[in-house]
Amino acid sequence: MARQEQYEELAKQLSSVAAVRRDLARLLPPDCSPASVILLALLRQYGEMRMSRLAELLAIDMSVTSRHVAYCAARGWLDRQPDPADRRSRLLRLSPDGEELLGQVSVRYTQALAACLKDWSDDDVGTLIDLLARLRASFGDCRARTPHQSAAGADCHAPAPQLPAQ
Amino acid sequence: MARQEQYEELAKQLSSVAAVRRDLARLLPPDCSPASVILLALLRQYGEMRMSRLAELLAIDMSVTSRHVAYCAARGWLDRQPDPADRRSRLLRLSPDGEELLGQVSVRYTQALAACLKDWSDDDVGTLIDLLARLRASFGDCRARTPHQSAAGADCHAPAPQLPAQ
DNA sequence: TATTGTTATACTCTATAACTATA
DNA sequence: TATAGTTATAGAGTATAACAATA
């Protein structure tokens, strides 16, 4: 396959991953959104952090992160402590309830994935994980060099071709 | 990595793919949604089809598909012809304007991916594409066997589409 | 009566902009 | 003045349910 065909196919496959993500989301408890799970999982993995760092890890705007964090805090899944170094910030930390929630989600995810991927080899699953992590890293690097709305963002953002706009 | 850890990690990586998809979506012309692109690309790949088949390929509800199709039809990107075999249905077909739109999108996607993935080997890109296609197929099979809610459309689900893997 | 497709409504997630509190 | 975070608003995407037309 030529490189350009590869890119088109990759873009298509990335789009269809959304369906898989929706399937996984259906497994969650009613008041637990997918966003909550990702957020809490990041807190478990990286430990205490500020809002801005969390937004960066999630690759979403801080305003959105703020709402997700408030949602989780209201349910006791995370704690917010004042940051002694900067009183504008609060340090976010996974709570025991949050840990328990992650445990329950893990059980559901694992059962579903075990059922759907039972004919996958460990190597294949591992390779997919590695490549997805690398994909995200490559895009993250690219995004870091070219802020979204900047007019000078030439690396990732193609110049706009003429369109039959409407 | 133990199988259960693999599954947790996979679920996490799948979530972060959303950020990559958002980045790609930012490349699109203002009136062209990501949903339109996927829809039109499926019409180009599989040719003329009915709404129900398209919804199945997209793995989204037919009501949603109907809206996306209407949006594309209003912009002349696809044609809807009466189905001679069943007057309840219309046959959807990519229009010349739709083909041109896909071509422009392809240019933008390719440029962006070429910039972000310039240090990836062809083999790695190909492996990622294959594994994503296989992942979607595995989930499609699983979904077909275990309908989400109750007896909505239990046994009338056609088997998951065979992916072209190219 | 069942099925194809459409429309109305509600919910989730995200981005932009305006705002506050602090640096 | 600049930055961290919050809130209001708007837009895109999807699911459910009610409906129309046809099988």
Q: What is the pLDDT of residue B163?
A: 33
In this structure, is the dihedral angle defined by the CA atoms of residues A61, B22, B111 and B11, taken in order, positive or negative? positive
| DSSP assignment string, B47-68 | -SEEHHHHHHHHTS-HHHHHHH
Question: What is d(CA A87, CA A67) in angstroms, rounded to the nearest whole number?
Answer: 20
Q: Which helix (H) or strand (E) holds A100?
A: helix A96-116
Looking from the CA of B97 toward its CB, the CA atoms found within 13 Å total: 14
A9-43: per-residue pLDDT in tens?
Answer: 998 899 889 999 999 999 999 899 999 999 999 99
Return the number of other C-beta atoms located less than 10 Å from residue A164's C-beta: 13
- Cα distance between residue B32 and residue B102, in whole Å: 10
pLDDT for the residue numbered B125: 96
What CATH architecture does domain A12-137 belong to? Orthogonal Bundle (1.10)
Mean pLDDT of the B54-80 span: 97
Cross-strand partners of B92: B49, B80
Q: With bands split at pLDDT 50, 70 and 90, how would you rate the model's confidence at A2?
A: confident
The contacts of residue A143 (CB under 8 Å, 6+ apart) are: A59, A156, B23
The H helix count followed by the E strand count for chain B is 6, 3
> Tokens standing for A87?
């009183």
CB-based burial label for B149 (10 Å; 0-12, 13-18, 19+):
exposed
Comparing A91-95, B22-26, B82-86, B139-143, which segment has the lowest mean pLDDT?
B139-143
**Lowest mean pLDDT segment, chosen from A107-116, B70-79, B97-106, B121-130:** A107-116
**Could you tell me the residue ranges of all domains in chain B?**
23-119, 121-166
What is the C-alpha separation between A138 and A132, in angstroms, rounded? 10
> What are the E-state strand segments in chain A?
49-50, 78-82, 90-94
User: What pLDDT is attached to residue B41?
Assistant: 96
Q: Collect all residues of chain B within an 8 Å Cβ-Cβ radius of residue A59.
A: 16, 19, 22
Tokens 């809490």 correspond to: A40
- Distance to chain A for B55, nearest Cα, Å: 12
* Number of continuous H segments (helices) and E segments (strands) in chain A: 6, 3
CATH architecture assignment, domain B23-119: Orthogonal Bundle (1.10)
pLDDT at position A107: 92
Average pLDDT rounded to a whole number, residues B24-48: 95
Q: A123 CA, C9 C1': separation in Å?
A: 46
Burial B89-105 (b: 16+ CB within 10 A, else e): bbbbebbebbeebbebb
pLDDT single digits (tens) A69-108:
999 999 999 999 999 999 999 999 999 999 999 999 999 9
Residue B146's pLDDT band, with cuts at 50, 70 and 90, is low
- Say what the pLDDT of residue B158 is: 34
The answer to whether A128 contacts B132, with C-beta atoms less than 8 Å apart, is yes
Residue A135 forms contact with B (CB below 8 Å): yes
CA distance A47 to chain B (A): 16
Rounded mean pLDDT of chain B?
87
The enclosing H or E element of B90 equals strand B90-94
CA nearest neighbour of B99 among A15, A164, A156: A164
